[in-house]
Structure 1
Amino acid sequence: MNILLVEDDLAQATAVGNALQQSGHVINRADSGENAVRFLKSNQVDLVVLDWQLPGMTGFEVLHWIRGNLGREPAVLFLTSRVLEVDIVQALEAGADEYVVKPFREVELVARVGALLRRTSRKEKVDNAIAVGPYVFDVERRNASLHGKPIELTAKEFEVAAFLFANVGRAVSRDLLAKLAWGRELDSTSRTVDTHIYRLRRKLSLHSENGVRLSTVYTHGYRLDEVLVRSVASETPVCAAPEEDVERHSWLMPAV
């Protein structure tokens, strides 16, 4: 599993990293909250092991950013010297999945990380298919359908759409979508990702009548959510959530 370790103490980071690497995990390290957020904006991880007391942005603030921008994933484990019950309750209520107090025992830490990853790991898609409401993405054959009717997508459009549908409810950054589809980060002024999103809104008919809503996450990227469809037996909508206005980009040009 891919783990981001956020720890400013080099000795602590080395001890934790060595223990988790021996269990087969890939460890990335950030020495501040700001660097952790910067890493998470363009990289996907399964777990964040997070110290509370960090220089600048605190671990608790990093947790708030993760849950506000990335949703339920990745899992977050606090590894901290803060032992007060009020701190533990506050962290868990704010969205942390686990809380381990320093000094820690390596065997226990590895066991807790393993148990947490088993609980929160993404479910494998049956038959290599991603199904959300009336949408089905066949990852092996690389085709998509809506209500059983095939939808023509380019290779890059499929990569972007399939990833969004595989991560319903999670905010996905433009940088991550660019890495998935183009294999690299694009220039900060590039509108290529936005152009593909604009086309996908139209090709896939991404609106509440089909049970989904694609929202723009300000300065970050996009999030796809499932919504309740309008009741067949009644003209009253089952879900009161307003439909997001379709973005109108007069500047959009075909992507190269």
Structure 2
Amino acid sequence: MNILLVEDDPAQADVAEKAIRQAGHAVHRVAHGQAAITYLEANEVDLVVLDWELPGVSGFEVLYWMRRNLGREPAVLFLTSRILEVDIVKALDAGADDYVIKPFRTKELVARMSALLRRTRRSEKIESAISVGPYVFDITQRSVFLRGETIVLTEKEFDVAAYFFGNVGRVVSKRLLAKLSWGRELDSTSRTIDTHIYRLRRKLALGPENGVRLTTVYTHGYRLDEVEVSKAEPPISVLAEPDDHVERSDQSEQGA
């Protein structure tokens, strides 16, 4: 895989470049935002490891340029020393696929890169079907199957689930999920998204026994990852609907 590393700190760039090469990837390294744009205009890459704080053209400006001119690809892994929720959400909503807090650990950096590269290789996400492990989403018919068995989802549930499965390894913010399902942001105190996710976990049987895990990323949103199928128990197919006592707050916002 071809990776563009954009980092102006020589010491951190050296560490990141070495880790990327040891992981078996080709890497081109630049230290400025404008140099990154120039390189991307002439070359195809699979992943951009992008520092937020760059001289001249910032990493955030590079990200905006990429999404305006290159679309959803290549994937972008943000390197940032900013840890405030508002900054992280801003980056994810602008089109970053994931982030690593600086100073980074090389093993974490390589692991997150690998997850994004697996998603990049999955061409099904831009076609009429999405296939992840035992799950198949028929986008045209708006149907989902787990080992050939149909799972019945509402319209909103299908939209959210299809987005997760089409973006495996990417952190998806609650703000984006709200816009995806309701076309607008929800009140910060609303539990609608949490209830929605709870139902998807149950209906789709999202867990290691079926080769996936839907993880809550504290204060930011959720991320769906592929994992090794658990040998501890047999694969689970479709689970029953949540019990009636499940939280039903904001029902007027949920719809069907």
Q: TM-score range by the shorter chain?
A: 0.5 to 0.7
Which residue of the partner structure matches residue 124 of structure 2? Answer: 125
Shift of 1:223: 2.0
Matched with 1:175 is 175
Query: CA–CA distance in 2 between the matches of 1:122 and 1:180?
Result: 24
1:252 aligns with 2:248: yes
Q: Secondary structure at the match of 1:125?
A: helix
Q: Residue 135 of structure 1: CA displacement?
A: 0.7
1:42 aligned partner: 93
* Structure 1 position 210, deviation (Å): 1.8
Q: CA deviation at 1:137?
A: 0.7
In structure 2, what is the equivalent of residue 204 of structure 1? Answer: 204
The structure that has the greater radius of gyration is 1
Provide the rounded CA distance (Å) in 2 between the counterparts of 1:121 and 1:132: 13
Deviations 1:117-136 (A, max 9, x none): 9x995642174211111111
* Paired residue type of 1:205: A
User: Counting helix residues as a fraction of each chain, which structure ranks higher?
Assistant: 2
Matched AA of 2:102: F
SS of 1:172's partner is strand
Gaps of 5+ in 1: 27-31, 49-58, 76-116, 239-245
Partner of 1:79: none
Q: Which residue of structure 2 aligns with residue 195 of structure 1?
A: 195
CA–CA separation in structure 1 for the residues paired with 2:204 and 2:57 = 48
Partner Cα separation in structure 2 for residue 186 and residue 176 of structure 1: 10
Partner of 2:143: 143
Matched, 1:60 2:107: no
Change over 3 Å in CA distance of 1:205–1:38 after alignment to 2: closer
Question: Across the two proteins, how many residue pairs are aligned to each other?
Answer: 184
CA distance in 2, matches of 1:223, 1:136: 18
Q: Which runs of 4+ in 1 moved over 6 A?
A: none
Unaligned runs of 5+ in 2: 1-39, 41-47, 72-80, 235-241
1:45·1:74 contact (CA, 8 Å) conserved in 2? Answer: no
**RMSD over aligned Cα atoms:** 4.6
Structure 1 length-normalised TM: 0.53
1:21-73: CA deviation from partner (whole Å, max 9, x where unpaired): 8x9458xxxxx94675241243424699xxxxxxxxxx836x78xx78x9449
Aligned sequence identity (%): 47
State whether residues 119 and 167 of structure 2, in contact with CA within 8 Å, keep that contact through their aligned partners in structure 1: no
